[in-house]
Structure 1
Amino acid sequence: MSTIYVVSGSATAPTAMASYDAALAAANIHNYNLVAVSSVIPADATVETVGSAPDLGPAGNRLTVVEARATTGETGTVSAGLGWTTGDGPGLFYEASGTDPETVESAVREGLDAGRGLREWSFDDEAVAVTTADADGEGYTTALTVAAYGQSEPIL
């Protein structure tokens, strides 16, 4: 059985891309080439919230992820939420972002409800992780919550 790690990070830097990279570093997934997938959790996977990722392989490898991300260059709050629902078979991830953490969490839960309604799978558990960062308007601030699908793989 494989583990999907839910990690989070936030950071402020002089550019939007630099703040994103720094938030990835805070989650310890900054040295991988991220490949985004939509939302399905394989039936044999477990989901574990860990804050920052363990070593998932050599730098430069491909890492499959579902990512919630919010970036701002203004004063205020950014929130990135990721939720998941699992059962005996496959499961689902849903993500949302915005400026209010409660609204983001609500949007994630509504998405999970809608996704369950589209499938004839059994779902027993649900969880949501929201990462929030306060931006002071000095540069750019990024908040992210990412589900990293197990170990990285060589890209070449």
Structure 2
Amino acid sequence: MGTIYVVSGTATAPTAMASYDAALAAANVHNYNLVTVSSVIPADATVEAVETAPDLGPAGNRLTVVQAKATTGEAGTVAAGLGWATGPGPGLFYEADGSDPEKVEATVRAGLDAGRDLREWTFDDEEVLVTTAEADGEGYTTALTLAAYGQSEPIL
């Protein structure tokens, strides 16, 4: 499988979609067609948190992701959290978003606990990354944390 890259980004722009696109650009995953999947990490994958994604292929390709994102048009905090639990076999991602970073992290950890309880897999490691942004109410602000599953693939 290869590496799953966990990246984050924040941005403010005049529309909600533009702020999301700019947050994707901050993470270097803005030139792909994102296909969101639920939460299972393949057994042969490595999960690596990086500041920005490396080159994952040509623009316009399909990129498989798990993502947490939060967008607001009001002043305040936005938080997007992604957690992962891994072991010698398959692993899990869980995501949450909101306005309180501590609650977002607690929700992600509770989700990972519940996911582990559903499976008879071995989990040796757990990590959580919560991305926050402070919105000033001027335009829209997005925070995102995203896991990109390896290289992109042609969409056509």
TM score, norm. by length of structure 2 = 0.99
- The secondary structure found in structure 2 opposite 1:105 is helix
- The secondary structure found in structure 1 opposite 2:50 is strand
- The secondary structure found in structure 2 opposite 1:127 is strand
CA RMSD of aligned residues (A): 0.5
Aligned position for 2:125: 125
Q: Which amino acid aligns with 1:7?
A: V
Q: List 4+ stretches of structure 1 deviating above 6 A.
A: none
Quick one: percent identity of the two aligned structures?
84
- Aligned counterparts, 1:89-100, within 5 A: 89-100=89-100
Aligned position for 2:79: 79
Q: CA deviation at 1:29?
A: 0.2
Gaps of 5+ in 2: none
C-alpha distance in 1 between matches for 2:19 and 2:86: 32
Aligned position for 2:154: 154
C-alpha distance in 1 between matches for 2:98 and 2:66: 17
C-alpha distance in 2 between matches for 1:72 and 1:117: 33
- The secondary structure found in structure 2 opposite 1:111 is helix
Gaps of 5+ in 1: none
Aligned position for 2:26: 26
C-alpha distance in 2 between matches for 1:52 and 1:21: 15
Aligned position for 1:38: 38
C-alpha distance in 2 between matches for 1:101 and 1:46: 26
Aligned position for 1:55: 55
- The secondary structure found in structure 2 opposite 1:144 is strand
Q: CA deviation at 1:150?
A: 0.3
Q: CA deviation at 1:51?
A: 1.7
Aligned position for 1:15: 15
Deviations 1:38-91 (CA, angstroms, capped at 9, x unpaired):
000000000000021000000000000000000000000000000000001000
Aligned position for 2:136: 136
C-alpha distance in 1 between matches for 2:49 and 2:86: 14
TM score, norm. by length of structure 1 = 0.99
